[in-house]
Amino acid sequence: MKAALLTLPLALLTACAPSTPTPASQAVDSQTSVSPAESTGLTVDASQLGANHWLLTSATDAGNQPIDVLFPNEDVPLQLDFAEGRIHISGGCNQHNGSYRLEQQTLVIGPLAATERACEPALMAADQAIAAQFSKPLQVKAIDSGQLLLVSADGATLSWRGEPTAQTRFGGPGETVFWEVAPQRKPCSHGVMANAQCLQVRPVHYSAEGIKQPASADFSLFYGEIEGYQHQPGTRNILRLKRYPVANPPADGSSLAYVLDLVVESENVGP
């Protein structure tokens, strides 16, 4: 029996279309104002925030006690991402999105919107706790390629470890492409990949109005992996990917790298 098809709104399909990013200074309601941060000589800008994925490594309250509720899953820490005047929070039950702006060393977050999944209590509690921490301006106490240190209005200190984004690693914004991934892998052999199992993929195209066009090609074997994508046998997916040129690929490697940007559709069709 086929499972229900999950399809994301058409608006998300057009997110790759060229647009003018919203300046961080204009991303939050102009009615919101905060006192300037104490000058420490620290320079903070949107490019620094957007260069990394930020993974939560420690959190303590004003009394220096651990905030355990922010660590519901040892394997998947809470994560911040910044892009085009928007902040994205993941790692709990639901994903949170909102606008932000920087005022010197102060990070001001606009109202957060969240998905509406139901999960185990620990993940739900983490959602509530991180949303509460970001409901008021935070002070950026340190930022470099490896660490982001934020202090919240109630005195909590949140330390985040930086992992370079794909755009940072590959040195450019990449090209957006859509692929359909067939439910099952197939045996393949290519170079050192003897007796491997390859994904079956084919391109997907959308009209200017965001309407998916009929498939124009058969599935072909993909001799590689898509960074960030974990294939579940029996599940058909349509993926929005970022394709990056690889500057110095190995002799038996591809000159292109593919990174998952968004799962547009997902359907369980069985074996």
SS3 state at 238: strand
Q: What value, to the nearest 5°, has the Cα angle with vertex 214 and ends 213 and 217?
A: 115
Residue environment code for 92-119, b if the CB has 16+ CB neighbours within 10 A, otherwise e: bbbbbebbbbbbebbbbbbebeeeeeee
Phi, psi of 138 (to 5 degrees): -120, 150
- Percent of the chain past pLDDT 90, that is, above it, reads 61
pLDDT for the residue numbered 26 = 39
Residue with tokens 């490697």: 253
Mean per-residue pLDDT for 86-103? 93
Residues 38, 190: Cα–Cα separation, whole Å: 59
Helices in 66-120 by DSSP H: which ranges? none
Q: Tell me, what's the pLDDT at 67?
A: 97
Q: What tens digit of pLDDT does each residue of 17-55 get?
A: 333 333 433 344 433 333 344 445 678 889 999 999 999
Tell me how far apart the alpha carbons of residues 115 and 58 are, in angstroms, rounded to a whole number: 25
Distance CA 241, CA 255 (A): 16
| Digit-coded pLDDT (tens) for 100-155 | 999 989 999 999 999 888 899 999 999 999 999 999 999 999 998 889 999 999 99
pTM: 0.71
